[in-house]
Structure 1
Amino acid sequence: MEYLGHTQTASYTTGPRTAQSACFLPAVGAQKTFDTMPGPSPLRRSLTSLPWRPSTYYQTAKVSPTTALMQSQSGPLSARANLAELEGIKVPPVFSAARNALYTRYTPNDWMSANLSNYSVSDRVRGNAERIRYDTLRLCREGEDRTKRAQEESGKRLGERVTDINFWKTELQHETDNMVTEISSLQEAKRIAEKALGETENPLHVAQECLYNREKRQGIDLVHDLVEKDLLREVDVIKQCQDKIRAVIDKANVQLNLNRAAQHELEKDTADKFSAQHLDEKCHGLRNASGGIAFHNGIEQLDRTLSVPETWAKFSNENIQRSQAERAASKNLRAELDKVLNDCANDMWKQFNCVNTALSERVQECTDARNKLQTHLGKVLQEVFDMEKNIEFLKKSIKDKEAPYQVAQTRLETRIHRPNVELCRDPAQHRLVSEVQEIRETVEQLQAKLREAENALQHLLKTKSALEHDLSVKNNSLFIDREKCLGIRKTFPMAPRGSY
């Protein structure tokens, strides 16, 4: 018979089978209530695994080796089925079928046991199926709830992210506006300083002739010293003022570059924030029914992020702090520009000193400096000699380490050829390895010290050359100040010209 809604050719899904209870049927036919072979995981399709298919119950009867092939009758299944009255009758082989009809294959007890077994198996299978259906329903509901909560949480996080991006974008835009204003103010202050620097050229050309002889000084001695200030106060003050103004203008140029760099970082960060906000708002607006959604296999395993929320906020905060620091430095530089211009204007009208006294003091200073240079030059020459000896000693020490290094490596190479289990990492092996490492480290330290010593020698030689050059410069300056300047110093050539 067929169950309602099914056909004989229908296929059914079954899972792996568990061990069944003992069979109550006799050995006449092999009984299978259902397929005992395990199906492929997780599910398999079968046409012979259901209890209402005929092939499930009976197969070809097994031949009992205890029954003679020529026996005309078969024995009963139990002693209660014996027919005592017919035991002595010998039925010919031609009546074997009729004779066999006198005996049944199974007893009523066997029939009842088979039915009870089928009932119990049916109850167990139906219970298992119901459990699977309930578990499936519960799992689907839990999965739906979990997916919905995850999507809501992601949307909440995206909304918070959009708020954070908008906050930092506003802060960056505000700081960018302040930086643009500061750059304009610094450019105006720089323009005023450049104009003041150009105005110092007129009094400079008038006073330059008085310094003609002292311009022949060499090297480091060609400075705006006290003698030069006393000799021609106008020239000295103008030179110093020009240097100060040039220095502060250079600072202004550097500061403008820093301000523009900070502005560029702010604008770049703002543009990145705008792009990120657009993308996150787009992500925040996506729903299950939105268009443009698709599968992207493996995208959750592709992590190209460069920062975490802490470093992300820190990056924008550092850009703002950098801009604020540059703006503060720019304001200080503008104040310094005003102060330098005022100081230079005042210094050009300052004190007038005795030129000859200042020049004599300068000659004495040059003499003392020359004597000290000669003393230091002698010490440097001695140190050069000692350092050369030290370098030779280091080279010899490095050379002496070659033999122990070769011995240790040769021992290690020889011990590699030990046979079989004798190739053991014993204490001797550990000590040889550490010995090689120690010698290598020692040689590296000596080589590093050798390079350091050679660098020191080069610095000494450079210092020696500089001292010798400076000594010649001092001699030349003494000649100029003592022989030329003091010889021609009579009167101060000009008076202060006034402020620019």
Structure 2
Amino acid sequence: MELIGSTLTATYARPKTSHFLPAISTMASSYRNTQPALAMNPSANLWRTNSYYKSSSAVPATSSIQRENLDLVRANTMFYPSNRSALTTRYTPDDWYKSNQNNYRESESSRKSAERLRKDTLRLMQDREQLTRRTQENTSKNIGERLNDIIFWRSELSHEIDNMVTEIAALNEVKRRLERALAETEGPLQVSQECLYHREKRMSIDLVHDDVEKDLIKEVSVIKSCQERMRRHLDRAVAQLASNRAAQHELERDMSDKVAAQRIDDRCHHLRNTSDGIGYYRGIDRLDPSLSLPDSWSKFTDDNILHSQSERAASHKLRDEIEILLNTTSNEMWNQFNSVNVAFTNRISETADTKNSLQTHLAKTLQEIFQTEMLIESLKKALRDKECPLKVAQTRLEERTRRPNVELCRDNPHHRLVSEVREIEDTIHKLQERLIEAENTLQTLVKTKVTLEHDLSIKANSLFLDQEKCMSMRKSFPSMPRLVGYT
């Protein structure tokens, strides 16, 4: 539909059905002569369908020639019966009428849709206003109930925090008493750990989990086991103290979260549509930063309180056990000390024997490397000796290719020369393969030599660590009175 006062422009829509003819452009360019030869020779072929629809690249230079060509095409179309079929490609009156009817129907349909939308929108606005008011009232009520729950759990948390602080102070006092009793048993443990530390400096294959290392690890375990009722309870006290403080931290953090949540929910409970500080936060409804549900929220605080009560009970039991824990023994420490020394002696002897065997194998490997190098030189010389015969044979073949005309035939000498070239090339190929194999063998021998030399240095390092570092540290051991805690 055109607006009143606007310039009406004829527009044609191509029908959607397939039985209508295609549209013909009404622009003047559609009637231009596409062939200059047609204007110059009227008796020529005047009807060419392709030229009628296509634009020509050869356009006359002057406007007068264009007009003459246009008139000539129109005259030929209108007055010659053979060319009047071009008129059938235009729109028909029935097409024009159907286009107008289609515009009327579309106009009525759009008006009805707009009227339905207007009525539905007014009804929607009223419904949503009532829904928004009810939702806001329910939300305020829920926030008030939430505040009551927060106040209840705050009082429970405060009571449990006071009890935990008292228990932590009592456990700290018992822990200090146990540390003083345990101080004298650290010397043997430090010696064993130093031996393990020095043996970690062993290199490559010697860094094995051998009998010495097993006995040293066992010695550390035995020393700790001999202190078990002291050291184990001290570790338990440290761990229990950490657990108590962790439980207290969780309670205090939960309490802090409850205080912050109560403050925020109280402010939200008093917010109204006329309150200050309200504003738009685009997309906030699509974010869900919550980590819990109402059930899991209350269960979280209840679990924190139950966990704190459980830790307090375990702490009280541990204090009772520590009170009776001051008796130790030293027999197992002495037995394991002697066992480790025997293992060190055996390992040192075994390492020395292995070092001597490695030196013997290294000497044999060096001899084999020398012989393999001589073999490689022989193979290289054999390859050089085959170069001249191959050159002779290939030169003969090349010279015989210059024989003229029919003399250039495949005679017996030619076949023999070809066979000779192939035999020499096969020989060279086999010698090269053998040379590569020998070089690979040499590389393997060199790697073996390097490995043996490296292993010898490893064994020397291991002997130094076991004899000089470890055994020198194990010449002394605390006396029995000191192990039982006497000075």
What TM-score, normalized to structure 2? 0.37
Which structure has greater helix proportion?
Answer: 2
